[in-house]
A and B are shown apart, each in its own frame.
Chain A
């Protein structure tokens, strides 16, 4: 499998993610009405006419429009969360692994302490203490998730630090910043890319989960977690309201997982073919 032609699963995953990203980014310019209630359409099932393709919610707002608006929220949140996690984690891991000594011990104590909590519980505690709102969810998820990047980076830097090419670069008079940036970090690109893709799957799930618990995006703004939360309340009368946002969410998470796994197979030589 490794190095071979991209499989059909990979293409399918990329198609789903591409569609998600394009629709999410374009949604402000699409003729959507995600916040316009229509009382004659309350909980209307999907129908073959404009504004009702996917049915309506408890206020008669079109579900398709709300799904697309929610896609934008989840995409932006995920990009912010994973970028924040990566910057913090890679930075801390580089410093800890390269410097050793006290900074490294402090980093290890902090990562061990973070991992001593069940991840979702810690995110829940932070988001709960900070109060409802999407910015606080981003902060909470970054604070919990940077640890994965930090541990991966630190472990790799520890072994790379003693490698010949780093010694050669130092002997040639490179500064530490240049050594880290030009001779260590590029070698970490492949595992970090895999980690970032897998972190996306985690962040999408966690954001939707916190929104489901009422901590993320606040009504009337649409989010996939919030749609599932409301859909579960109207389970008996309007099953489409629960099913469609969930299908969208699962499709995206599944596609990200497939992408991450395929990337790992291609980029990680230790992975059995």
Chain B
């Protein structure tokens, strides 16, 4: 119980630090943000209105208090471009990103399991070398090239899947695959390292000696133990996944938070940009906190002081 409270406290602290860091970063921008957002030829009245709307006429501490107060009420401010609350825009885009991230994660696991097992069990045999080369290639393939490449092959040449957008279940396949490849490579390498270690343990030798089938040894004594530390990598890799979603969503015109972030940057809609970053970073902090809790729950050794 005390562990739960401690972890929750740490997560809340990190979350608060992230919120304040975004506040500071957005206000550290060199130059006049109002001029950047409105352009040089804006009228005095427009400028005054925007300054008041953003609260830039108040002192920095007062701005910070107002900002945290608004956040506590889930008020992310007003989008300059759309003239509607940022929270509404973000909420409308969130399901698409969650769907893409979940599909990418699931696909990455499905790809990583056979690759990791092949690397650990086959080692220096051709199968293992092939799997290792494949994961290294997976790490080297940037999503902004892999995505269009998959579109070229599977949407344009073969015509099996849609080019972009989010109309049907089929339109999820290519974005999810684009997102999954890099993550699968990382997970597979981690799994292979853990699995080699797990298979070298004494109880595995015992299991082999008593005549357990190789597949059973591999699965019950190897993979199940090796998957455990992968859980922690999982939480950390979610950051890469969320970052990757920004690019993947842009490539596939996927109507999610990442594409909204890029749009906010290109039209200099700072309140919208701040809102998107807050939600994505906040989700990342929360999931990492949950991952640590889950890990402590799965692995009793972590709970020991």
Q: Which residues of A approach B to under 8 Å, CB–CB?
A: 109, 112-113, 116-122, 124-126, 128-131, 201, 205, 208-209, 212-215, 225, 228-229, 231-232, 235-236, 239, 242-243, 245-246, 249-250, 253-254, 257-258, 261, 272
Q: List 14 A-B contacts (CB under 8 A).
A: A116-B14, A120-B244, A121-B243, A124-B243, A124-B246, A129-B25, A129-B270, A201-B140, A209-B142, A212-B247, A235-B156, A250-B137, A250-B140, A258-B136
A254 touches B246 (CB 8 A): no
- Minimal beta-carbon separation of A2 from chain B (angstroms): 14
With an 8 A cutoff between CB atoms, is B172 at the interface? no
Known: A236-B156, A242-B149. A118 touches B144 (CB 8 A): no
Question: A117 touches which one: B18, B136, B145 (CB < 8 A)?
Answer: B18
Across the interface, A225 reaches (CB within 8 A) one of B17, B140, B144, namely B144
A129, B36: Cα distance in complex, Å? 10
- Chain A residues with CB under 8 Å of B36's CB are 131
Residue of B nearest to A143 (CB): B25
Q: Contact flags (1/0) for B141-159 with A, using CB distance below 8 Å?
A: 1111101110110001000
Residues on B with beta carbons closer than 8 Å to the beta carbon of A261: 136
- Quick one: which of B254-282 are within 8 Å of A by CB? 261-262, 264-266, 270, 273, 277, 280-281
Instruction: Judge whether A232 and B140 touch: CB under 8 Å.
Output: no
Contact in complex: A126, B25 (CB < 8 Å)? yes
Q: A residues within 8 A CB of B261? A: 121, 124
B25 contacts A250, C-beta separation under 8 Å:
no
Size of chain B's interface in residues, with CB distance under 8 A? 50
Please tell me if the beta carbons of A119 and B25 are within 8 angstroms of each other in the complex. Answer: no
B123: shortest Cβ distance to chain A, in Å?
Answer: 11
Beyond contacts A119-B243, A213-B262, A213-B265: 17 other A-B pairs, Cβ-Cβ < 8 A, are A109-B17, A120-B240, A121-B281, A125-B25, A125-B277, A129-B270, A212-B144, A212-B247, A215-B265, A228-B148, A231-B148, A232-B151, A232-B251, A250-B140, A250-B145, A254-B140, A258-B136
Is the beta-carbon distance between B142 and A205 smaller than 8 angstroms?
A: yes
Q: Is the CB of B17 within 8 A of A208?
A: no
List CB contacts (< 8 Å) of B17-55 with chain A: 17-18, 21-22, 25-26, 28-30, 36
Partner of A257, one of B18, B139, B144, B151: B139
| Contacting pair B26 A209 (CB below 8 A) | no
Secondary structure at the A interface, as helix, strand, loop or mixed, is helix
- Determine whether the beta carbon of A129 is less than 8 Å from that of B240: no
Indicate whether A116 sits within 8 Å of B285 (C-beta atoms), given known contacts A124-B246, A250-B142. yes
In the assembled complex, B284 has its CB within 8 A of some CB on chain A: yes
Q: With A and B bound together, what is the CA distance between A249 and B250 in angstroms? A: 19
Cβ of B85 under 8 Å from chain A: no
Chain A's closest residue to B141 (CB) is A250
B242: Cβ under 8 A from any A Cβ: yes
Flag whether B128 is at the interface (Cβ < 8 A): no
Inter-chain CA distance A260–B265, complex, in Å, is: 34
Chain B, residue nearest A9 (CB): B133
B137 touching A254 by the CB < 8 A rule? yes
**Of all chain A residues, which has the CB nearest B264?**
A128
In the assembled complex, the Cα of A121 lies from the Cα of B29 at a distance in Å of 17
Chain A residues with CB under 8 A of B264: 128
A81 to chain B, nearest CB (A): 16
In Å, the complex CA distance between A272 and B288 comes to: 29
Tell me the bound Cα distance from A147 to B17 in angstroms.
17
6 smallest beta-carbon distances between A and B, as pairs: A120-B243, A128-B265, A118-B239, A246-B145, A254-B140, A232-B148
> Which residue of the partner chain A has the closest CB to B133?
A9
Residues of B within 8 A of A242 (CB): 145, 148-149, 152
User: Out of B142, B270, B281, which one reaches A249, CB within 8 Å?
Assistant: B142
Say how far A216's CB is from chain B's closest CB, in angstroms.
12
A208 partner residues in chain B, CB cutoff 8 A: 142, 144
